[in-house]
């Protein structure tokens, strides 16, 4: 069995990181809360969030995706379920969170991952 250990993977010129376009890795992830306060806990390629109401949050991307029709958004929370509120745009995703009573609810731990090609 082979093992590869690296600290940094650089582009072909050796001047920067590898660009993750046209690859199948997740291009964005977001961990946030809207329960007692609205706050970003951790993120990659998300710049901010907008609390649009109970159980309704818009997550704004740092770098746009190439095509909103080819974005795969996956969400989960520590309560009942999470789903896309509306179709994503190339610059944001809107997420709805629901409690165990199947009604919109602000949740303490929410997670979203987006796959697709960056612009």
**pTM metric for this prediction:** 0.76
Strands, DSSP E only, in 13-109?
Answer: 28-33, 39-44, 46-53, 56-61, 72-77, 81-84, 92-98
The pLDDT-based confidence of 41 (bands split at 50, 70, 90) is very high
pLDDT tens digit string along 77-99?
887 777 777 788 999 999 888 88
Q: Are 42 and 55 contacting, i.e. CB atoms less than 8 angstroms apart?
A: no
Give the chain's radius of gyration (CA, Å).
Answer: 16
Q: Indicate if the alpha-carbon torsion angle 115, 113, 48, 44 is positive or negative.
A: negative
End-to-end CA distance of the chain: 37
Q: Are 72 and 114 contacting, i.e. CB atoms less than 8 angstroms apart?
A: yes
Q: Indicate if the alpha-carbon torsion angle 26, 30, 31, 34 is positive or negative.
A: negative
Q: Above 90 in pLDDT, residue 74?
A: no
d(CA 87, CA 5): 40
């Amino acid at each position: 069995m082979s093992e590869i250990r690296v600290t940094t993977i650089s582009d072909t010129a050796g001047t920067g990181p590898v660009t993750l376009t046209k690859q199948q890795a997740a291009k964005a992830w977001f961990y946030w809360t809207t329960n007692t306060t609205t706050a970003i806990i951790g993120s990659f390629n998300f710049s901010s969030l907008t609390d649009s109401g109970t159980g309704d949050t818009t997550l704004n991307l740092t770098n746009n995706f190439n095509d909103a029709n080819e974005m795969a958004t996956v969400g989960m929370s520590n309560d009942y379920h999470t789903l896309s509120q509306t179709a994503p745009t190339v610059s944001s995703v809107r997420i709805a969170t629901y409690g165990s009573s199947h009604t919109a609810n602000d949740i303490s731990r929410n997670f979203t991952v987006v796959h697709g090609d960056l612009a």
